[in-house]
Amino acid sequence: MTLSEDLVAGSSALGVPLDSAQQKKLLDYIALIVKWNKVYNLTAVREPEAMIGHHLLDSLAALPHLSAARRLIDVGSGAGLPGIPLAIARPEMKIALLDSNHKKTTFMRQACLELGLTNVEVVCERVEKWQPQDKYDAVISRAYSELKEFVRLSAHLVAKGGKLYAMKGVYPVEEIAQLKDSAKVEAVIALTVPGLEAQRHLVIIGVEE
């Protein structure tokens, strides 16, 4: 199968329909990662074929569980994952990409420019120092930190009624046990990502006001 066929089949299996323009932007994004990876070391995954599952579909797997979100921030976004795939798939969603690494935010800004993503803001700042004018109803991270640390650093970004979403591998039993009473795990959803053998879970956390 071609990269395009892998993407279409995978997104369909996830229940995330993509039109032809969105498919092209996602594949162009992968091409940009491959190009910049040679200098900036954005990701350990080097092959475009592997990036379809490990990066694009893995990011999009969370989307069905973010249907109520209008404003989302991707904490520790790195190369723009999961934020850029989410922004492409949901252009009506306002998305911020936050990372303290200057090289990575430089890449994300250039990628958003080349992909024509007008619904994205890139922020180069430490998460605990970022004080947005308006908070977010969804704060998401992918392989960023342990749950306790994610809550500690990111809870101030959550709008009233909003949630934290942590994208994890295996079911994080010990990390959940370490959470304080001020953070309540509302759901742990097992995600099936086409093309990936590894386990994936989405932990949804509510925080006290």
- Convert the pLDDT of each residue in 40-59 to its tens digit: 878 888 888 888 999 999 99
Residue of 2, 9, 88, 3 whose CA lies nearest to 52: 3
pLDDT of residue 209: 66
pLDDT of residue 38: 84
What's the token pair of residue 186? 């509302």
- Give me the domains of the chain, ranges plus CATH numbers: 3-207 (3.40.50.150)
pLDDT, tens digit only, all 209 positions of the chain: 899 999 999 999 999 999 999 999 999 999 999 999 988 878 888 888 888 999 999 999 999 999 789 999 999 999 999 999 999 999 999 999 999 999 999 999 999 999 999 999 999 999 999 999 999 999 999 988 999 999 999 999 999 999 999 999 999 999 999 998 889 999 999 999 998 989 999 999 998 76
d(CA 151, CA 156) in angstroms, rounded, equals 9
Contact partners, residue 194, CB within 8 Å, separation at least 6: 9, 10, 13, 14, 53, 57
Per the listing, tokens 């579909």 go with: 57
Give the Å distances, CA to CA, from 125 to 10, 14, 76, 122, 131: 33, 32, 10, 10, 10
3 state DSSP class of 141: strand
d(CA 10, CA 51) in angstroms, rounded, equals 12
d(CA 16, CA 30) in angstroms, rounded, equals 18
3 state DSSP class of 199: coil
